Amino acid sequence: MKAKTTEKTAKAGPKTTNLGTGAGMKNFEERLERLEHLGETIRQSGIPLDEALKAFEEGIKIAKALEKDLEKIESRIEILMNDAGAPRDEDPELELFDRED
- Please determine, for residue 20, whether its predicted confidence score (pLDDT) is greater than 90: no
Dihedral sign from CA coordinates of 21, 71, 95, 93? negative
Among 75, 64, 65, which Cα is nearest to 97's? Answer: 75
Mean pLDDT of the region 14-31: 62
Among 69, 16, 18, 11, which Cα is nearest to 38's? Answer: 11
Interior/surface letters 83-101, b for 16+ CB within 10 angstroms, e for the rest: eeeeeeeeeeeeeeeeeee
Read off the pLDDT band of 80 (50, 70, 90): confident
Residue-wise pLDDT for 34-72, tens only, equals 999 999 999 998 999 999 999 999 999 999 999 999 999
Pairwise CA distance, residues 39 & 55, whole Å: 8
Pairwise CA distance, residues 78 & 63, whole Å: 22
Query: Number of C-alpha atoms within 13 angstroms, CB side, residue 36?
Result: 6
Query: pTM for this structure?
Result: 0.58
